Amino acid sequence: MDREQHIIVTGAAGFIGSCMTGYLNSLGFNNIIIVDEFSRADKVPNLQGKKYLHQVDRKDLIKWLKENDPGISLIFHLGARTDTTEFNYAIHEALNVRYSQEVWHYCVSKSIPLVYASSAATYGSGELGYKDDHDLPSKLEPLNPYGVSKNEFDKWALKQTVTPPHWYGLKFFNVYGPNEYHKARMASVIFHAANQIREQGYVRLYKSHRADYQDGQQLRDFIYVKDVISVCAWFMDHHPASGLYNLGTGCARSFEDLVKATFAGFSLPADIRYIDMPEDIRDKYQYFTQADMSKLHSAGYIKPFFSLEDGVGDYVQHYLLTQKNY
């Protein structure tokens, strides 16, 4: 893709969006229109050093596009309401469904490829598996309003007969990495573990409240943000069949493994202590997630993913210990 092309990144001040913007810069793309709600001071460091052409407030995007018609070549729609503890569905619906539909319609009207963030939260408790087949979303029962909203947009996209020339809904699994400093409770376990190691020398993990899982052995597919943005950029240059694609490593690991890797990043022995899981998330908690990555690999993405130990080590040593941003 021509480096002079104009690209939109929504959610550009957030975690994955700011990393995506920086990665595009590293590939030579500077004509980027960044879109977000820019009033939060704790997100400002995420954009420091980034090169972009325009900054557009999220609520003004469609109006701005219609007035300026900047000739967009691709949209990375990574902005969303991602708080899984927000149980007011109307909030998620407004941003994750209706706003995404507006972006979709603009892409259709201007024949612009679209890469958007879906989520592994769509899979619910995983009783139907984690395969990115297109007949599955209509059967899924996500565990929280965030997951419901993401699945509703996936279902809507799959029903559309008029689509962008290429479109990809990427089901992000448990993403971790730099530029999540602002995410508070929703930041990764690694981020919280690093803070606990600094402050008290040990890490608290939730006990298991299921007999079939030992404490600390809850399993998730943890993926480093550097892999996520690499895959997103790959879709920019390659055009496999449109649709939904899982984006994890394909290898579930335990929270105990994750925390041990975090301690290793600090060159410290692991000290893990278990606490009760909060009541408000206990019945909505995923005990196992693991992406079936066969579709992406069959589409031609062959670059290896960071191992948990290598990804966590890089994150801790090059970002968390130095408080640097990507």
Catalytic residue numbers read 146, 183
Q: Which of 279, 268, 273, 276 is nearest to 256 (CA)?
A: 273
Report which of 102, 82, 85, 222 is spatially closest to residue 149, judged by C-alpha positions.
Answer: 82
What's the one-letter identity of residue 25? N
- For residues 22 and 48, what is the distance between their CA atoms, to the nearest angstrom? 10
Q: Which residues lie closer than 8 Å to 203 by C-beta, 6 or more apart? A: 193, 196, 197, 259, 262, 263, 270, 271, 272, 273
CA distance 249 to 251: 5
Task: With CA atoms as reference, report the closest residue to 33 among 59, 67, 61.
Answer: 61
Task: State the number of CA atoms in the 13 A half-sphere of 17 facing the CB.
Answer: 30
CA–CA dist 102, 251 (Å, integer):
35
| Alpha-carbon span 213 to 208, nearest angstrom | 6
